[in-house]
Homo-oligomer: A and B are copies of this chain.
Amino acid sequence: MAVYTEVTDEDLETFIASYDVGELLSFKGIAEGVENTNYILHTTKGPFILTLYEKRVAREELPFFLGLMQHLSRQGVPCPLPVANANGEVLGELAGRAAALVTFLEGFWTRKPKADHCAQVGKALAKLHLAGQNFPMHRANALGPGGWRPLLERFQARADAIAPQLATTISDELDQLATLWPKELPSGIIHADLFPDNVFFIGDTLSGLIDFYFACNDYLAYDLAICLNAWCFEKNFQLNLTRSRALFRGYESVRQLSAAERKAMPVLARGAALRFLLTRAYDWLNTPAGAIVKPHDPLDYLRRLRFHRTIATIAGYTGEDA
């Protein structure tokens, strides 16, 4: 949550001049974005977001992310639209960083999701999945099942500093998921990080989805399992069945889940919980004290994981008759 790279007025005016966005009126660094530096710009043609990509984002992957946002936006998914410069390029350079200008999406994220929010998120996710079907580029999911064991190995020796037996718990779960993980489900573009802070609402109406920097190709239903983890738990880590039912209904009002996807849902939910447990545990152990960005508590996702292990069928999330 910080401005890592300062931009000068002169450099920005030169940069902006190559885009058809009018005259620069103001720019302010915003305290948003963990990985990158973001500025809000006002020009005579409206507001924009300028993103400077810091070192944690691989430059060769930017064409995928920006191309995807262009594709989804043109298909009617409400997301930031990268603006092309006079050369037709969406990726520029500013202050020694790869940089992109995208349209500003009005709206703000909700700190207390209600069932209606979840229903809208489900719908929007399904629309994203459908819109992504004809996107021609491909990106493997670095944080999918194949990446989990290597990630654990990077902090396994220190994992028990977070909670007793954590390394063993995760390792056992990885063994089980290796067996249980579905072999073939409908795949395509997934957002892979559609947490509440990446979904904007105006009043109670969904206005947009942001932050596509984890987007990749994977099982569509796994993306829904991520949302289940992100949107449908109470602060005390209990599932809010009203919200999860609304999420699934919203999703299925746009795209019906197949029998195989429904059957796999408890396992996918375990995998999604494990994926965030792993990255949070890694960040927890590798964030210096006093860092600007405070790490999230990994154990939130250990608790979700334990819950999902008690669920036998999708009915545990939808409340429907099994």
Contact = CB atoms under 8 A, between A and B. Distances in A.
A9 B112 CA distance: 9
A162 interface: no
Given A3-B1, A28-B40, A30-B30, A9 B110 contact: yes
Interface string A1-15: 111000011100000
A106 B42 contact: yes
Interface in A77-129: 104-112
A29 B32 contact: yes
Interface stretch (A19-27, A61-69, A163-171): A19-27
A36 to B, nearest CB: 13
Contacts of A112: 10
B31 A3 contact: yes
Contact of A31 (B8, B26, B31, B290): B31
A28 B30 contact: yes
A248 B110 CA distance: 52
Q: How many copies does the complex hold?
A: 2
A183 to B, nearest CB: 42
A76 interface: no
B292 A24 contact: no
Contacts of A27: 108
A136 interface: no
Contacts of A298: none
Nearest to A292: B292
A292 B2 CA distance: 9
23 contacts: A1-B3, A2-B292, A10-B112, A23-B202, A23-B203, A24-B202, A25-B106, A25-B107, A25-B202, A26-B104, A26-B106, A26-B107, A26-B108, A28-B32, A29-B30, A29-B31, A29-B32, A30-B31, A30-B40, A42-B47, A42-B106, A290-B290, A292-B292
Given A29-B30, A30-B30, 14 more contacts: A1-B3, A2-B2, A9-B109, A10-B112, A23-B203, A26-B104, A26-B107, A28-B30, A28-B32, A29-B32, A30-B40, A42-B47, A290-B290, A292-B292
